[in-house]
Structure 1
Amino acid sequence: MADAAWIALGLAALPAAIGLVNLLLLRAPRGGGSPDTVVSILVPARDEAASIATCVEAALAQQGVAIEVIVMDDASTDGTPAIVTAIATRDDRLRLLTAPALPLGWSGKMHACARLAEAARGTHLLFIDADVTLAQGTAAALSGHAQAHRLGLVSGVPRQRIGTLGEGLTVPIISLLMVGYLPGGGRAFTRFRSLAAGCGQMMLVERRAYDAAGGHAAIRATLHDGLMLPRRFRATGHRTELVAGAGLATCRMYRGIAEAWRGFLKNAREGMATPFGLPVWTMLLAGGHLWPFLLLPDARAIAALALIFGLRLAVTLRAREPLWTVPLHPFAVVVALGIQWTALVRALLGRHEGWKGRAYAAPEAP
């Protein structure tokens, strides 16, 4: 039992130590773009009537840099195109395009983003999801940061708006994993491709670097652009950086546990859910976050839980997520592992994951 308690404490101390360093390194972008900077804000949209107006209006309200906004409607069956068209009649900086038929071998979002990039005129391209609401200075801050630090790609995790218990059990794990288990926290000085990170909800790229890296065509089959696009940039010699994004945008990622489960399931195979990777992740997460509960009242188990809940609280405060999600943390870890193991078993059985009416055989993590 004594050895087990030391192991649990070590597994808890690892993310706590990495997290402390990353929280000290993580910074919000400062400054603005140069006078000749133009940021193209690019929004792939498929059945986004509930959020597209808010997204587009916030994009058009950007200050400090010249912008254009382009929405790519990807076979929506709701009122998405009509909503965007109505806004475009009063602001000529907004354009609505219709995505061509999805070619074989592409995922829907990657295809829409590639076509958006072709239509864009900006020196920088800011890809955002249709459920993201930008703060007024975000385009200027991200483009200015990219120019000041010679970055090909800058990304940040928006503040996640969490409205249900199911979302509280799933969404906060994103920030926890990035802060607690990614050495360097995705900062540019971590030049290795394997340490690249981003968030597909909000990524700004410098146009020439994007073209040189092959753009979204280079990752056409992925369902996890937040991971794969920064890795592609680094593989082709371009610097990438993850910045503090909670003050730059907000996002209601999913609505309820069922939608969150499906959403995380589609990305799992390119992240944790691999035959070799998932057992390691299970040891790290279950061993550091759950096992100490079984070793109570050992003092080392208490110390392990103090480290884990301290990390979770610090991450929650920095991400500006609801404090009521912190006590749910052990259950969130169980749910996260449940999603990952479900994804792996489904993949081994040859099942395809679906999203918004499309089914994909996602590639494995590199």
Structure 2
Amino acid sequence: MMVLGFLLLALAAIPFVLTLMNLSTLRATPRHAPTGDVLVSILIPARNEATNIEPALEAALGSMGVPVEILVMDDGSTDGTGDIVRAVMARDPRVRLLTAPPLAEGWTGKIHACHHLSEAAHGTHLLFVDADVRLGPHAAALLAGHAQATDAGLVSAVPRQIMVTLGELLTVPTINLLLLGYLPMGFMRLSRDPGLGAACGQLMLMERGAYRASGGHAAVRSRIHDGIQLARLFRRKGIMTDLMPGERLATCRMYAGLDEAWSGFAKNAHEGMATPVALPIWTVLLLGGHVLPFALLPFLPSLPIAGAALLSLVTRMLVTFATQENPWSIPLHPVTTFVGLAIQWSVLLRIGDACRAGWKGRLYPVEEKP
């Protein structure tokens, strides 16, 4: 029992130490204003986003500190998304509405829309934003300034995640736990290793020349998770990528409940940890570090197991308060971690519809991984 207890304690200590280091690294990140002749193109792929697109545009139009243009790619919407954009466009010439061409063979929908947005954009920097993201006034300027100051071709951040329902609280908090607890950001900033590449597809800014040199979305045309794929692509091409604290840059409410959240995370799992090699390792790390200490403590009480549970809970608290997430994620932490693993295993084992990936109702076959 003592051996098991110390193993769980070690597994809980890893994300605790990394979270402390990463928060220190991120909090020390200087804020830079852009210099020179900079234009940020805010690019929004939209498919049936009638409830989201107007507030997304209003937030983007409030950008300060840098000139912006805003392009919306309407990809086959049937809910009046285009009409809403036209109404905003009529009162502000910075907004342009584009219609996505028919989906080309071998492309996924959002990637296809983003590629055509990049071709129509005039900016020195391309800021790809999901329609459910609400940009803060200084987000575009600070992202562009950071890219200039660090010579990073891609800069991303995780917006402050808005969670209302229990289903959201059981799924969404995993994003920041994985980034802050398992990605060594100090090493990420020192190395161009593709394995250290990470980005959040909700909010990604790319310098135009670096985007073109990397091949951009066209180089990952068959993929779903553009955040992971583009960050790794840039690094394979020798182009640095970076992360910034995002809780003050933007907000995002990704999903409205458990069914929607489960489907959304399952979509990206195909290109994340849900592989035969990676998922068993992640299961040991996450189950051992964040679930088993709480499950075993009532039956096998010991100081190491209690210490593991405490470290795991403190890690969740640090992540929650640093990213300004809903504090109800703290008591739900072990269940949230378990649900996250359940989603990944459902994808790997092809349970139900989890073996299909897609975007806004458009489904694609999943590529087999070697």
Which range, TM-score by smaller chain? over 0.9
d(CA) in 2 for partners of 1:308, 1:215:
38
Match for residue 271 of structure 1? 272
| 3-state SS, counterpart of residue 51 of structure 2 | coil
d(CA) in 2 for partners of 1:167, 1:20:
25
Q: Structure 1's 211 and 252: CA in aligned 2 closer, same or farther, altered over 3 A?
A: same
Q: TM-score, normalised by structure 1?
A: 0.97
Match for residue 208 of structure 1? 209
d(CA) in 2 for partners of 1:99, 1:62:
25
Q: Which runs of 5+ in 1 are unaligned?
A: none
Q: Which amino acid aligns with 2:151?
A: R
Alignment of 1:107-122 (within 5 A): 107-122=108-123
Q: Which amino acid aligns with 2:221?
A: R
Match for residue 7 of structure 1? 7
Q: Structure 1's 352 and 186: CA in aligned 2 closer, same or farther, altered over 3 A?
A: farther
d(CA) in 2 for partners of 1:140, 1:351:
39
| Residues 153-174 of structure 1, C-alpha deviations (whole Å, 9 max, x = no match) | 0000000011100000000100
**Alpha carbons 2:109, 2:359 under 8 Å: kept:** no
| Residues 126-168 of structure 1, C-alpha deviations (whole Å, 9 max, x = no match) | 0000000000011111101110111100000000011100000
Q: Structure 1's 364 and 253: CA in aligned 2 closer, same or farther, altered over 3 A?
A: farther
**Alpha carbons 1:269, 1:365 under 8 Å: kept:** no
**Alpha carbons 1:222, 1:362 under 8 Å: kept:** no
Q: Which amino acid aligns with 2:157?
A: G
Alignment of 1:1-366 (within 5 A): 1-27=1-27, 30-184=31-185, 187-293=188-294, 294-295=296-297, 296-346=300-350, 351-363=355-367
**Alpha carbons 2:267, 2:354 under 8 Å: kept:** no
d(CA) in 1 for partners of 2:308, 2:65:
46
Q: Structure 1's 168 and 349: CA in aligned 2 closer, same or farther, altered over 3 A?
A: closer
What is the deviation of 1:190? 3.4
What is the deviation of 1:334? 1.2
Q: Structure 1's 279 and 349: CA in aligned 2 closer, same or farther, altered over 3 A?
A: farther
Q: Which amino acid aligns with 1:146?
A: A
**Alpha carbons 1:271, 1:365 under 8 Å: kept:** no
Q: Which amino acid aligns with 1:357?
A: G
d(CA) in 2 for partners of 1:289, 1:144:
37
d(CA) in 1 for partners of 2:92, 2:327:
39
Q: Structure 1's 148 and 20: CA in aligned 2 closer, same or farther, altered over 3 A?
A: same
What is the deviation of 1:175? 0.2
What is the deviation of 1:112? 0.3
What is the deviation of 1:324? 1.2
d(CA) in 2 for partners of 1:362, 1:20:
37
Q: Which amino acid aligns with 1:358?
A: R
**Alpha carbons 1:51, 1:131 under 8 Å: kept:** yes
Q: Structure 1's 186 and 127: CA in aligned 2 closer, same or farther, altered over 3 A?
A: farther
Q: Which moved more, 1:29-38 or 1:162-171?
A: 29-38
The ranges of structure 1 where at least 4 consecutive aligned residues each deviate by more than 6 angstroms after the TM superposition are 347-350
| 3-state SS, counterpart of residue 89 of structure 1 | helix
d(CA) in 1 for partners of 2:293, 2:14:
14
**Alpha carbons 1:168, 1:325 under 8 Å: kept:** yes
Q: TM-score, normalised by structure 2?
A: 0.96
**Alpha carbons 2:171, 2:340 under 8 Å: kept:** yes
What is the deviation of 1:187? 4.3
| Identical positions, percent | 55
Q: Structure 1's 288 and 350: CA in aligned 2 closer, same or farther, altered over 3 A?
A: closer
